[in-house]
A and B are shown apart, each in its own frame.
Chain A
């Protein structure tokens, strides 16, 4: 197992290097003089020259890339051109907001998706099965930004039951400890605030959860259907085990592996979807951080934001790979 983890991490090195190179190219590939593009047409000659020096654009590209890599290894993610703060210092609150939202969304997606899939397979061709699969089919085709707007319109504007935007009540801000507001409010024992934060999470969280939920439900259903036909499930049934126990204990354990792969892949989709969801719901996460940076041509922030999200995506996939062995003892790592 250790050997396998080692070799997987070793294989990741070229991918990670390639990722840094693509991100490095973001500024360098701008047509024309990047410094001129960033500062606009009215910029003075000196200002452009100064920015070129700050961004290190005067050196040959391989030296620039080497410097960029060296910076990354020492935790230097560049400096925001807008706020003048190092990106590494200001990124955490945004990242925490996105992680909180994504984890919330994936929990909803997994709980509802897996159970819907199981029940659909259990009662195959029932009205529940048809309904769940039609919803799942529509869910897969749903543009997440439209769903977000629909959520906002129905639940905030028409029904007025949930807040439209933001992460907290701005008049009663959360005392920040970890930047995960649910955790922060719990630590402080402030349950009133906890429920406000939770309410803010529901609309963006469910919008973000919809597509993964639909995909997980479809995958669970087909995987369960396959397992349910196997001999050992029939044996379990014929020795008089309750159907519930057969389904949730025996069948699920074997059906879950492909579902797990899908969940891992969905995390990446979720991180991408976060940009759209965060824009709609004014969620101060890394997606909005990148989105706003695009408006200001704040390229160091765009670069580092994208790199961080991609890095997390790669790590999640690595983690999912490792998890297989724990769940399925038949998988041996060579």
Chain B
């Protein structure tokens, strides 16, 4: 009886001391980070459920109502086709978050794989992969994205591919340096000594132990990806009409700055808030997961 109580206690302690729980506790301590998570959650929920509640369909045109200022009927006013801006922004959240998540997952997977290979195998493999990263990072990122889209042709899908591609070296370098430090650790040496295969060492030991910086970088990268997608949309190289992508909405608003500035104000606020949310959350995660990464 007494023994089992002790066991239970020990188990409890073990649970509390788990690295993820500890990180969550650290994260919760930062008010700013929690606000960031709140903003992100708000936009995620809006993207998922919002379209069920919007007053109007995204492409429902009503030319009699065009360029109406914000009112009780149209909270954010209407655009040049008489479409309800609020409805479009709500739907646009889907596009922006979708692009942000997908692009970052893509670059994290490709970048991490290349980074692990470079860091673990070293020598010429490392030299080649690292040089490719150097070369990609030698371009201002949005310029490289523009180059990719100018080759593939303007569309939301190609913008997503471009954004994923330009973020690959950021993840790659991060993981590579992490792997370089981990691979000399004793538990990896002993795994090798008992004859464990490279693949198993890489993916069951090194990868999980390098995840923290990837999660932090990933959260911050979603913020950048959302801005980049909007920038490409704004330049006409991303989402095409009549998509309610926020950057595209901003581009369309340019002709109506004088008489209908609300067509410009609200999509911009939506982009800024979403990006702010991810930035705050990323900063909080960084402090919680890896104090050494604090800038």
Contact = CB atoms under 8 A, between A and B. Distances in A.
B231 A157 contact: no
B272 A138 contact: yes
B138 A19 contact: yes
Contact of A276 (B138, B147, B235): B235
Contacts of B102: none
A314 interface: yes
Interface string A1-35: 00000000000001110110011011001110000
Nearest to A219: B295
Interface of A: 14-16, 18-19, 22-23, 25-26, 29-31, 137-138, 140-146, 149-150, 152-153, 157, 218-219, 222, 268-269, 271-273, 275-276, 279-280, 290-291, 294, 299, 302, 306, 309-310, 313-314
Chain A CB within 10 A, most for which of B131, B135, B253, B268: B135
Contacts of A141: 223, 272, 275-276, 279
A155 B269 CA distance: 19
Contacts of A23: 147
Given A15-B138, A306-B139, 17 more contacts: A16-B138, A18-B135, A22-B135, A22-B139, A137-B276, A140-B279, A141-B279, A142-B272, A143-B275, A145-B250, A149-B250, A152-B257, A271-B143, A276-B142, A294-B146, A302-B150, A310-B143
Contacts of B230: 143, 145
B295 A146 contact: no
Contact of B135 (A15, A144, A271): A15
B69 interface: no
Nearest to B269: A146
Contacts of B258: 157
B151 A19 contact: no
Contacts of A294: 146, 150, 237
B152 interface: yes
Given A143-B268, A149-B253, A290 B146 contact: yes
Interface in B201-218: none
Contacts of B143: 271-272, 275, 290, 306, 309-310
A150 B142 contact: no
Decide if the interface of chain A is mainly helix, strand, loop or mixed.
helix
Contacts of A14: 131, 134-135
B139 A137 contact: no
Contact of A291 (B235, B257, B272, B279): B235
25 contacts: A15-B131, A16-B138, A18-B132, A18-B135, A19-B139, A26-B151, A141-B223, A143-B227, A143-B271, A144-B231, A145-B231, A145-B234, A145-B250, A146-B267, A150-B264, A150-B265, A153-B261, A218-B295, A273-B142, A275-B142, A275-B143, A280-B254, A294-B146, A306-B143, A309-B143
Nearest to B258: A157
Nearest to A291: B235
A16 B256 CA distance: 43
B247 interface: yes
Given A272-B142, A290-B146, A313-B140, A153 B257 contact: yes
